[in-house]
Amino acid sequence: MKLLSLSFVVGIPLLFLVVVWRRYARAQLLRREGVRVRGTVLRIEPGGSDSSAELHYCFKLPDGRRVTHTYTQDGESFDHLAPGASVDIDYLPSNPKYSQPVGQGTRIWGVILVAVMLVVAWVMAAGAALKTHEPRAKEDARDTAQRNKLGTY
């Protein structure tokens, strides 16, 4: 049970860190190596309090192929855009499925926030683990003292 609790407290934040780090790394790669093109908004699905907003867009590659993509972002409504509007897109020429609207993507603050959450979770898990062992150690010491007392009579 303790192992399950520990894996939950540590595993979930660690998984979030991996996901956020991958999004951050991809956003940085797009900023460094991405090619900027003009895309067209196909549709927008606004996010609610418990869901992310989705921006569906398309753009053309230099060879004329059309690429469609859905970009999902928490805390963004995309309400300044409408279907048919132009939007600047960065994409990776080596893999055009990796694209995002210019100015979007995970920033380093997102990674730092998740890392801090992970450290807090680890500290809480370590504190809980130490606290559960502490009373037992006191009981063991008391039992030993009583046995020693009884043995001296």
Whether residue 149 lies inside any domain: the answer is no
Rg, the chain, Cα only: 26
Question: How far is Cα 134 from Cα 139, in angstroms, rounded to an integer?
Answer: 9
* Within a domain: 8: yes
Q: Please check whether residue 70 lies inside any domain of the structure.
A: yes
Looking at the domain assignment, is residue 13 inside a domain?
yes
Mean pLDDT of 14-43: 86
Is 133 part of any domain?
no
The whole-model pTM stands at 0.61
pLDDT at 143 over 60: yes
Q: Is 84 contained in some domain?
A: yes
pLDDT tens string 34-57: 999 999 999 998 877 677 889 999
Percentage of the chain exceeding pLDDT 90: 29
Tell me, yes or no, whether 21 lies in a domain.
yes
Domain count, the chain: 1
Residue 50 domain boundaries: 2-109
Q: Could you tell me if residue 74 is inside a domain?
A: yes
